[in-house]
Amino acid sequence: MLGTAAGGGLPQWNCGCAGCTTARRTHAARSQDCLAVSADGAAWYLVNASPDLRGQLLAAPELAPAPGTRDTPLRGVLLTSGELDHTLGLLTLREAAGLTVHATLPVRFALHSAFPVGPLLAPYTKAGWQTLTPGETVELAGGLRAQPLALGGKRPRYAADLPGEGWEGRPDWVCGFRFTAAGDRASAVYAPGLAAWTPELDDAVTGADVVILDGTFATDDELAGDTGGTRTSRGMGHLAVRDSLPHLAARPGPRYLYTHLNNTNPLAHPGSPGTGALARELAAAGAAVAEDGTLIEL
């Protein structure tokens, strides 16, 4: 778990809310959502490339180059969305000798037009772009398999006016993944941008060892209560923690973790007011909050 915060991180650089103020005082920082996954411990893939990527890579010894080389175990990136907090880090990887980027069709199009990461990387490194199709498993190096899951149609703001037709309402603007090691010896689900609990997610969770879910907001009205606005968690494309917990209780077995925590989410601040009851609900459902730097071995 390289990063567990939503866009902006914790504390957010321009935010003086109670959560960010506490995080500055206690040095309880979280970097922006990013995961590294491997089936053999030798070939690694990033899931998302956050703006905090350089620091995240330096903090992970498993991803360091061998002494005297400029080669790392990093083989590619799989994107769950085209949001800036999931893609800006791709530019940090421009020094790579080569890189494969996996993204759904609308995200690929957005990253070659409205936010032209593809053309920007081309003069620096050989980046191969592969299209992800929900439901179709991708075979990766080291015996890792990734099955994309369509999670929602929320597209980045910069992609609101993409040229051409057919981009509006596509359910694969946001995706999750079920990762499986060769021989089905271990599996994990990663869904940091979950708009609703779908039958596809139900199928993916079945038999998984660990499930990492969208923890952006604790409750649907959290942001409105904190800022005085009208935006809800669902309206922003995120199923609130409290609304996903009943699904966990009905599906025991996996280890459940929440990631992508917004700076307003009290769960991002252990011991802060408002965490007690919700923390007990998480514990009752067999769930916990993910932390930066957590290494999960299955």
Quick: pLDDT tens for 252-272: 999 999 999 999 999 998 777
Q: Is the dihedral of CA 105, 43, 92, 28 positive or negative?
A: positive
Predicted pLDDT at 71:
87
Instruction: Give the dihedral sign, CA 178/183/184/185.
Output: negative
Whole-number pLDDT of residue 165: 86
Nearest residue to 81 via CA among 193, 161, 169, 171: 193
Task: Of 147, 265, 175, give the one whose Cα is nearest residue 215.
Answer: 265
Rg from Cα positions in the chain: 18
Residue 226 reports pLDDT greater than 70: no
**How do residues 92-119 score in pLDDT, each as one tens digit?**
999 999 999 999 999 999 999 999 999 9
DSSP 229-252: ----TGGGT---HHHHHHHHHTS-
Structure tokens at 232: 């809800």
Confidence of residue 295 (pLDDT cuts 50, 70, 90): very high
How far apart are alpha carbons 163 and 22 in whole angstroms?
43
- For residue 270, what pLDDT is reported? 76
Average pLDDT value for residue range 66-85: 95
Q: What is the dihedral of CA 155, 56, 217, 258, to 10 degrees?
A: 110
Q: Which residue has the tokens 């609703």?
A: 196
Residues belonging to the chain: 298
The number of beta carbons lying within 10 Å of the beta carbon of residue 70 is 9
Neighbouring residues of 66: CB distance < 8 A, sequence distance ≥ 6: none
pLDDT of residue 229: 61
Check: CB of residue 104 under 8 Å from CB of residue 146.
Answer: no
Give the pLDDT band of residue 21 (cuts 50, 70, 90): very high
| 55 SS3 class | helix
Beta bridge partners of 132: 104
